[in-house]
A = this chain, B = another copy of it.
Amino acid sequence: MAAIPVSPLAPKSYPDLPAIAGVRFATAEAGIKYKNRTDVLLVGFEPGSSVAGVVTRSKCSSAAVDWCKANLPGGVARGLVVNSGNANAFTGIKGQKSVELTADIAAKALGCAPNEIFIASTGVIGEPLDAGKFSGVLDQMATRLDDGPWMDPAKAIMTTDTFPKLSGATVEIDGAEVRINGIAKGSGMIAPDMATMLSFVFTDMAVSAPVLQALLVKHVATSFNAITVDSDTSTSDTLLAFATGKAEGVAPLESLDDPRAEIFGEALRDVLFDLAIQVVRDGEGATKQVSIHVEGATSDASAFRIAKAIADSPLVKTAIAGEDANWGRVVMAVGKAGEPADRDKLSIRFGDLLVAKDGERATGYDEAATSAYMKGEDLELTVGLGLGEGRATVYTCDLTHGYITINGDYRS
């Protein structure tokens, strides 16, 4: 298969993220699947670092996900190992052994306990992962940990991504600067619960594990869990957040009632949201990003389900690819969501352009203006249900020949 071209929605430039006190990393070429590129990331955390995480709800989660689930309740992290090219998913008892061996090797290299090591794997499903390959590699990496550049870990975790994904925020707390850096990877097999597929966020703020977990769960709902590329959910989706507490002059954040929790939470949300949108913009074959807003639903949850039905509809997504303001297909998707909806109260807008109102084509519908709008790269689609106050937004991309080529063109 020919190389996949970089997404037309890729960022024009990348942020130069600052060092995070207490976080040091290295990347390497372990040769798990790829050649001539880094495919393994080792991150070391200073003692006292806390961890929180959200993982896939797949009933067939990978061995690495199971490992993280088992160790997250401990709330303590000293290391993170991520490999790309092999997801170590659906590899039976071999997969579990492979994860245990990886944790042992990393723990020895970093001088900590295996259950303080977090692990994520991404790539092919069903192929046994030979963790022995990490043996010399992780030891060697541990000798050259550094605090930058952040482009390196962002690149090492890529699979079918066409661009690396980084985001950062700084926020003033207690008169000091607190930093949050994040990286992510993901392009296909992306849908809520979780959609990452992988994302790692690092801060020098001291945040207790329960508070970090609560903030992560809150803000993942409107970021990674509000995006969909193709409605498919990975067996490996993992979002982990690490807090080193090494920012000087900042008291630990140990309660959600602490007013600083909201300030820190908003900055965390900005980073998560930015990374999630980058994943959508790298959606396989994507040529347009679409924000699907649903308002006037009977509840926020109902609005979300309707927005997701629209965002996942192949007919809506192909119409957007064709720059066709096909609101009939939007009505179809609203109808199939199974949520309360009254056909004759529906309104639909593309951007600011009202195309349908009260169950029929809007008076004054301007086909030329709507067609012109649809040629844009960033589209807003708003559905008003007229039933209540519930609202939600889901972010997606169009469905193009590119998606079929990437996922189905093996025969050539």
Interface pair A58/B361, CB less than 8 Å apart: no
A69 on the interface (CB 8 Å rule)? no
Residues of B within 8 A of A344 (CB): 92-93
Task: Give the Cβ gap from A135 to chain B, nearest Cβ, in Å.
Answer: 23
A405 to B322 alpha-carbon distance, docked (Å): 9
Contact of A90 among B319, B331, B407 (CB under 8 A): B331
Instruction: Decide: A335 and B92 in contact? CB cutoff 8 A.
Output: no
CB contacts under 8 Å to B, within A263-317, are 312-315, 317
Q: Which residues of B contact A358 (CB under 8 A)?
A: 92
Inter-chain contact A90/B60, CB cutoff 8 Å: no
Separation of A400 and B411 alpha carbons in the complex (Å) = 12
Say if the beta carbon of A340 comes within 8 Å of chain B. Answer: yes
Whether A404 and B360, one on each chain, are in contact in the complex, defined by CB atoms closer than 8 angstroms, is no
Please indicate the chain B residues that have their CB under 8 angstroms from the CB of A328 in the complex.
87, 89-90, 124-126
With A126-B328, A404-B400 as known contacts, state yes or no: A336 contacts B90, CB within 8 Å: no
Q: Which residues of B contact A403 (CB under 8 A)?
A: 314, 318, 404
A194-208 at interface with B (beta carbon < 8 Å): none
User: A75 within 8 Å of B by Cβ?
Assistant: no
Given the contacts A232-B313, A400-B404, A410-B322, A335 and B58 also touching, CB distance less than 8 Å: yes
Q: In the bound complex, what is the Cα–Cα distance between A87 and B335 (angstroms)?
A: 15
Within 8 A of B (CB), among A306-363: 312-315, 317-319, 321-324, 327-329, 331-341, 343-344, 346, 356, 358-361
Q: Kindly report which residue of chain B lies nearest to residue A334, judged by CB atoms.
A: B60
Interface string of A377-412 (1 = CB under 8 A from B): 000000000000000000000111101110111110
Q: Which residues of B contact A336 (CB under 8 A)?
A: 58, 191, 193, 232-233
A340 vs B58: C-alpha distance in the bound complex, in angstroms? 10
Question: Does A153 belong to the interface (CB within 8 Å)?
Answer: no
CB of A59 within 8 A of chain B? yes
Contact with B along A357-380 (1 / 0, CB 8 A): 011110000000000000000000
**CB < 8 Å neighbour of A323 from B232, B321, B322, B410:** B410
Contacts of A318 in B (CB 8 A): 403-404, 407-408
Residues of B within 8 A of A94 (CB): 360
Given contacts A400-B408, A404-B404, A189 and B315 within 8 Å (CB-CB): yes
Query: CA–CA, A386 to B361, complex, Å?
Result: 51
| Cβ of A61 under 8 Å from chain B | yes
Q: Check B407–A315 contact: CB distance below 8 A.
A: yes
Q: B60, B193, B231, B341: which contacts A346 (Cβ < 8 A)?
A: B60
Q: In the complex, which of the residues A87, A233, A323 has the most CB atoms of chain B within 10 Å of its own CB atom?
A: A233
* Nearest chain B CB to A360 CB, angstrom units: 4
Does A161 count as interface, using CB distance less than 8 angstroms?
no
The 8 Å CB contact of A60, one of B317, B321, B343, B408, is B343
Give the chain B neighbours of A398 by CB distance below 8 A. 408
Q: Which residues of B contact A92 (CB under 8 A)?
A: 344, 358-360
Q: Is A128 an interface residue (CB 8 A)?
A: yes
Q: Which of B233, B321, B333 makes the CB contact (< 8 A) with A232?
A: B333
> Does B60 contact A315, Cβ atoms closer than 8 Å?
no
Question: What are 21 A-B contacts defined by CB distance under 8 Å?
Answer: A58-B332, A59-B334, A59-B340, A60-B331, A90-B343, A90-B356, A94-B360, A95-B360, A125-B328, A125-B329, A126-B331, A191-B336, A232-B333, A235-B332, A235-B335, A318-B404, A318-B407, A321-B408, A322-B408, A324-B410, A400-B404
Give 6 new A-B contacts, CB below 8 A, not counting A232-B313, A322-B411: A59-B334, A90-B356, A90-B360, A92-B344, A317-B408, A319-B410
A residues touching B (Cβ–Cβ < 8 Å)? 56-61, 87, 89-95, 124-128, 188-189, 191, 193, 230-235, 312-315, 317-319, 321-324, 327-329, 331-341, 343-344, 346, 356, 358-361, 398-401, 403-405, 407-411
